[in-house]
Structure 1
Amino acid sequence: MRAIVQSASVRAALAGMPILRGCEDQVLEVLARGAQFVRFASGASVFERGSMPTGLYFVHDGAVRLMSLCLEGRPKVVEIFEPGGMFGEIGVFTGQRYRTWTQAIGAAVLIHVPREQMLAAVQVDNALCNRMLAAVCARTQRLVDAISSTASGTASVRVASYLLEQSERAPRPDTCIVLPAPKRAIASLLNLTPETLSRVLRNMVEEGVLTVGGRRIHVRDKARLIAMVSPGARA
């Protein structure tokens, strides 16, 4: 069950979202009209498969996982959204029922922007419209890359690719990677069993590539990690 948290600072929080930075005040006013903070308990559903879209979600605090059914009928993590991320845009722009569902990873605070306000904002701000399109294209490319890695890459290649992607998002090259979700969720995202993920990480630690402490991972040898995802390593 979710609790609604009203706050006068919702506009300021929206202005801090990466994709909304640079928006004019009038556009932020349109987005903030009817927008609200929404708090979800750990494991709570944000939206269900088959439900109608009500708006766009921005992650203010915590993390959310996007879930789908694999061919065997098992739930699978498709993507993990961290603070500053957004999701639900497909439903916003198509108006079609969701084919996936989302769950909070731990306690999470989101900003819900009503669909009508989001559509009104992109109609008056061409730059925002272009950024939204670019974000959707980038997400599509990431999913294509993930499918390619899952289809042809070994477990080590998948883990190395994921860690390199996470390291690129870190504020500084020497910053530890903090996994956005428990290792079980990361394993599902990479189409691995939790046991396989643990074994791969343990091997990387023994080889001096990583140090691991809970969700915190420090890449000690980035060159080795890059070599793992080279074409020769995929054979």
Structure 2
Amino acid sequence: MHSHQHGMNIEALLAHVPLFNELEKDEISRLARGSREISVARGDILFHKGDTPTGFYLLVYGQVKLAFTSPQGGEKVVDIVAQGQTFGEAVMFMDKPFVVYAQALADSVLLHISKAAIIDELDKEPKLGRKMIAGLAMRLHHLISDVESYSLRSGRQRVIGYLLRDTPTDRAPQVTVTLPTNKGVIASRLNLTQEHFSRILHELSEKGLIVVEGRNIHIQDVNRIRAYDR
């Protein structure tokens, strides 16, 4: 893992982040001065559970998983971060150590935005504070949905919900979903063992609801799969 400062391209990257799109040029420049670019190879650990945050992260490209290890040594994936997303803000504000570790699932480039820089901007620009609160509230909402899903929905319902998560209801009945990462990571994200996840995919294939082709899952009929397991 190495980090370096570029100046110009950091400003350009920050300007493209939805979170910062209402900031003026000079505000972006100040944030850029408090940011550094980090390149990581697949498998690299960005931070460990228990590390003290000095800022938060923006994933420019690549993919990162947030996870923790159970006392038995198993892994629980809490989130799979996609490009353009930020993470680590909540712990940074709380002055608490990270409760998860972050590991690159692919070669990735990130920006680390220092706490001091973001706090300065929050003091100057109330809109930024509102946007950060909205982002954190959204994440809290997702976490609550996850807990509800683990508690109240069967494994099959969780898998179907995951496959259909980005599919609008008015779309063509056939749709192809590409799994963002390997099945083990997704299974853990859904609170399932990898075997259980594979079994459910197999069952959905047997029923003619999906065709699995590597990471591509072809859904034959969105409405049929939605109605299955009601």
Count of residues paired in the alignment: 226
Distance 1:5 1:228, change over 3 A: farther
Structure 2 residue aligned with 1:159: 159
Tell me, in whole angstroms, the C-alpha distance in 2 between the residues paired with 1:189 and 1:90.
20
Counterparts of 1:143-222 in structure 2 under 5 Å?
Answer: 143-167=143-167, 176-222=176-222
Matched, 1:109 2:109: yes
Answer whether contact 2:14 2:28 (CA < 8 A) is retained: yes
SS for the counterpart of 2:165 is: helix
Structure 2 residue aligned with 1:6: 5
Tell me, in whole angstroms, the C-alpha distance in 2 between the residues paired with 1:70 and 1:138.
26
Counterparts of 1:1-235 in structure 2 under 5 Å?
Answer: 2-7=1-6, 8-70=8-70, 74-167=74-167, 176-228=176-228, 233=230
Tell me, in whole angstroms, the C-alpha distance in 2 between the residues paired with 1:91 and 1:179.
29
Deviates more, 1:4-13 or 1:48-57: 4-13
Q: Tell me which amino acid in the other structure corresponds to 1:93.
A: F
Distance 1:87 1:174, change over 3 A: farther
Distance 1:131 1:226, change over 3 A: farther
What is the CA deviation profile of residues 123-182 of structure 1, one whole-angstrom value per residue up to 9, with x for unaligned ones?
2221121111111111111111111111121111110111222446xxx99764332221
Tell me, in whole angstroms, the C-alpha distance in 2 between the residues paired with 1:21 and 1:215.
34
Tell me, in whole angstroms, the C-alpha distance in 2 between the residues paired with 1:121 and 1:173.
46
Unaligned regions of 5+ residues in structure 1, if any? none
Distance 1:58 1:146, change over 3 A: same
- Normalising to structure 1: TM-score of the pair? 0.87
Tell me, in whole angstroms, the C-alpha distance in 2 between the residues paired with 1:141 and 1:82.
18
Tell me, in whole angstroms, the C-alpha distance in 1 between the residues paired with 2:19 and 2:215.
27
Tell me, in whole angstroms, the C-alpha distance in 2 between the residues paired with 1:139 and 1:118.
19
Distance 1:5 1:211, change over 3 A: farther
SS for the counterpart of 1:36 is: strand
SS for the counterpart of 2:144 is: helix
Distance 1:29 1:182, change over 3 A: same
What is the CA deviation profile of residues 22-70 of structure 1, one whole-angstrom value per residue up to 9, with x for unaligned ones?
3222321222113122111112111111111011101111111111245
Distance 1:5 1:174, change over 3 A: farther
Identity percentage of aligned residues: 32
Q: Tell me which amino acid in the other structure corresponds to 1:15.
A: A
Tell me, in whole angstroms, the C-alpha distance in 1 between the residues paired with 2:173 and 2:60.
24
Tell me, in whole angstroms, the C-alpha distance in 1 between the residues paired with 2:151 and 2:198.
20
SS for the counterpart of 2:164 is: helix
Unaligned regions of 5+ residues in structure 2, if any? none
**Per-residue deviation, 1:106:** 1.9
What is the CA deviation profile of residues 179-203 of structure 1, one whole-angstrom value per residue up to 9, with x for unaligned ones?
2221110011111111211121122
Q: Tell me which amino acid in the other structure corresponds to 1:4.
A: S
- Normalising to structure 2: TM-score of the pair? 0.89
Answer whether contact 1:164 1:225 (CA < 8 A) is retained: no
